[in-house]
Amino acid sequence: MPRTVFGRPLTPWLLILPSFALALFIICYPLYNIVFQSAHEVSRFGLIKGFCGLDNFRKVFADPIFIASLWRTLWWTLGVVGGTVLVSVPVALTLNQDFYGRGVARVIVMLPWSVSLTMTAIVWRWAFNDEYGMVNVSLQRLGLISSPVHWLATSTTAFPVMILVGILVSVPFTVTIFLGGLSSVPVDIYEAARIDGASAWFQFRKLTLPLLRPFINMAIVLNVIYVFNSFPIIWVMTQGGPSNSTHILVTYLYERGFRLGKPGEAAAVSLVMLAMLLCFTAIYLKIQPREGSQA
């Protein structure tokens, strides 16, 4: 690598410049557009009507549905990401064992990943149909319930159900990350631990978990970003209803922008979401131990 007289290699910077400029443009232009829209009154069909300062933000923050959706988004993210990590660790550990049919088992776990999220959500919407859905029919045949449960009719059942679906679709990606992590864990340290008389639980806590930690960290950050912004499951299954009781910010945003014809307010909501994600990422990077950076 030829170095410049300043002691810093120049070529890498030059090589990266075109793609960097492109990436910068692609990130900055929509951002500029959103900021611009959020500070203007925008008609239903996207015409800019005039500058309105922070009015859109004021309107949105004065809307009790927005505040409720904000809190619900936190629960949604916490529920789905927390659940996903809790489920994925044992699944990844199991799939990392050498057993007959492991290939098939891995494929089955990965399968939901290959189906589009919207399709998955539609299938689950049918599955949770009161009258002819797979879930009610199965539970009735098993004798666990006597009459159909109205899963999606009220938020008390609909929201947990959607969190479960969210976990289900996030598991494959997370398991993949963990499997990658586990494959880099050397086998001999377990042997050494066994010889020293460490129990399986002890091995898990003292060896596997610390070595997996950078991967868990990465899975949490990426999943939080995906899940926080995840639109299809809730929109397909309840559209945020009944009576706004299952809205999260992104479905609220879509409804504002494309149903109620208020793109300006929708842009304001999306900026709030961006700020929240930036805060989360900044805090997370701060509290995350240094060793995590090798991921």
Partner 1 sequence: MQVGLSHRLTQAAIALTAIGLAGFAAPAQADTVRVTVAYYSDQTEPYFKKMAEAFEKANPGSSIKIEMVNWDTLQQKLQTDIAGGTNADLAIIGTRWLLDFVKDDMAEPLEGYMAPSFKGRFIGAFLAPGQIGGKTYGLPIAASARALYYDKTALTKAGFPNGPKTWNDVIAASKKIKADGAYGFGMQGKEIETDIYWYYSLWTNGGDVVGKDGKSAFNSPAGIKAATLYKSMIDQGLTQPGVTNYSREDVQNLFKQGRVKMVISAPFLAKQIKKEAPTLQYGIAPVPAGTGPATYAVTDSMVMFKNSKAKATAWKFLDYLFTKEPRVGFTAGEGFLPTTKEEATAPQFQDPDTKAFVALLPNARFAPTVTGWEDTAKAVSDAMQSVYLGKAKPAEALKAAAVIADQALGK
Residue ranges in contact with partner 1 by CB under 8 A: 22-23, 26-27, 43-47, 129-132, 148, 150-154, 177, 218, 221-222, 238-239, 241-244, 255, 257-261, 263, 295
Kindly give the pairing relationship between strand 40-42 and strand 48-51. antiparallel
Phi/psi zone of residue 7: left (φ > 0), alpha (ψ -120 to 50 degrees), beta?
Answer: left
Give whichever of 113 and 190 is closer to partner 1, judged by the CB atom.
113
Give whichever of 260 and 278 is closer to partner 1, judged by the CB atom.
260
CA distances, 81 to each of 78, 145, 183 (Å): 5, 30, 23
Q: What tokens appear for 114 in the block?
A: 């290959």
Q: How far is the CB of 285 from partner 1 (least distance, A)?
A: 9
Which among 125, 93, 43, 62 has a CA at the least distance from the CA of 215?
A: 93
Give whichever of 83 and 241 is closer to partner 1, judged by the CB atom.
241
Cis peptide before 242 (omega within 30 of 0): yes
Give whichever of 97 and 156 is closer to partner 1, judged by the CB atom.
156
Q: How far is the CB of 130 from partner 1 (least distance, A)?
A: 5
* Calpha distance 48→43 (Å, rounded): 6
Q: How far is the CB of 192 from partner 1 (least distance, A)?
A: 31
Give whichever of 97 and 294 is closer to partner 1, judged by the CB atom.
294
Complete DSSP assignment for 92-116: HHHHHS--TTHHHHHHHHHHHHHS-
Beta bridge partners of 51: 40
* Calpha distance 142→252 (Å, rounded): 38
Q: What tokens appear for 73 in the block?
A: 């988004």
| CA quadruple 14, 15, 16, 22: dihedral, nearest 10 | 90
Q: How far is the CB of 14 from partner 1 (least distance, A)?
A: 19
Q: How far is the CB of 104 from partner 1 (least distance, A)?
A: 26
Give helix then strand counts, H and E, for the chain. Answer: 13, 2
Give whichever of 118 and 138 is closer to partner 1, judged by the CB atom.
118
CA distances, 245 to each of 234, 251, 258, 262 (Å): 11, 12, 19, 21
Q: How far is the CB of 98 from partner 1 (least distance, A)?
A: 27
Q: How far is the CB of 81 from partner 1 (least distance, A)?
A: 16
Give whichever of 65 and 105 is closer to partner 1, judged by the CB atom.
65
Give whichever of 198 and 222 is closer to partner 1, judged by the CB atom.
222
Largest Cα–Cα distance of the chain, in whole Å?
81
Q: How far is the CB of 200 from partner 1 (least distance, A)?
A: 30
